[in-house]
Amino acid sequence: MSTWRFKDKLILADAAGTTLTGLHAIYASDVEFTPESESEKDELETSYSGASMETFYGEHVSLNFKTPLAMSGTAGTAPAYAPLLLACGMVQVADVSSVTFTKGAAVAAKCTLRFGKNTHNITQMKGNVSFALEKGKPMLNWQFKGLFSPPVASSAPPSVDWDRWVRPEVLGVSNSSDFKLSDTQRTLHKLTVDLGNNVVFDRAINHEEIMITGHESSANFTLSADELTNFDPWKDVGKVQTFEFTHGTAVGKKVTIIGRYQMPWPKYTSLDSELTGYEFDGKLVPSGTGYDELTIVFE
């Protein structure tokens, strides 16, 4: 008889080749683990109707969860989820004062998922992430695929140290949250940034791999409407402009997100105040050099 709760889950993750311990625990919520496979029916000819047996192969898994947009607390030190960003095709460059991530080749991660009293070891994990920036805590939504392994009986969970996960400051004026579009400050109500990775399980007769075969990054944001003399988004449709989101008050707790954004047609929307806002749902586009449409800086 099962004696564990459905919420009894623990995720440990880091770069492939790392020996995972409680220090690699992920501050995760809303964890979803889904085994996936391909199948082929026998299509047996019979003198009666009914379902056919199936052959299952190409086992892999999807693992989705959320984490806060946590900081490291120390300038020049990457946040605890840096290996997850690398597995989503971000490239990390650090100096004494900051850590910068831009698009590039993905570096696979490994993961241990302790689900109650069962443990799954997931390898070659790659995926996608989106940033959900609204009122309250800034959050990251992660979606990964990895190679499957059957569960083994789990020992007692490791001791977990959450010190690496510096809780983020809530979004707001008091915590220096700000937004600029084309170097002009605008009143921001919501910002969502999605890397848009196409993550697939690729299988040949003698090879299996999780791959990111391409990406189309996007951003959706809602701004307060203003007099056209102050803000006329209609005349900028189709133009590539830069937006910059900043947040955080202290060294080691600051983040900046910069995007090269092709302005779409604005859509009127009602704000919480019942005043009028503009909603923009568009793409992040690279320059001719490529992989420069999105930059994330932790300071």
Give the separation between CA 216 and CA 276, rounded to whole angstroms: 29
As given in the structure block, the two tokens for residue 49 are: 């109707």
SS3 call for 80: coil
DSSP 286-299: --TT-S-SEEEEE-
pLDDT range class, residue 57, cuts 50, 70, 90: confident
**Torsional sign, CA 113, 124, 94, 257:** negative
- Name the CA dihedral angle for 144, 149, 155, 159, rounded to a multiple of 10 degrees: -20
Record the pTM. Answer: 0.94
Query: What confidence tens digit (pLDDT) does each residue in 23-54 have?
Result: 999 999 999 999 999 888 888 888 989 998 99
Give the separation between CA 79 and CA 297, rounded to whole angstroms: 11
110 secondary structure, DSSP code = E
CB 113, CB 120: distance < 8 Å: yes
Query: What confidence tens digit (pLDDT) does each residue in 161-187 have?
Result: 898 899 889 999 999 999 999 999 999
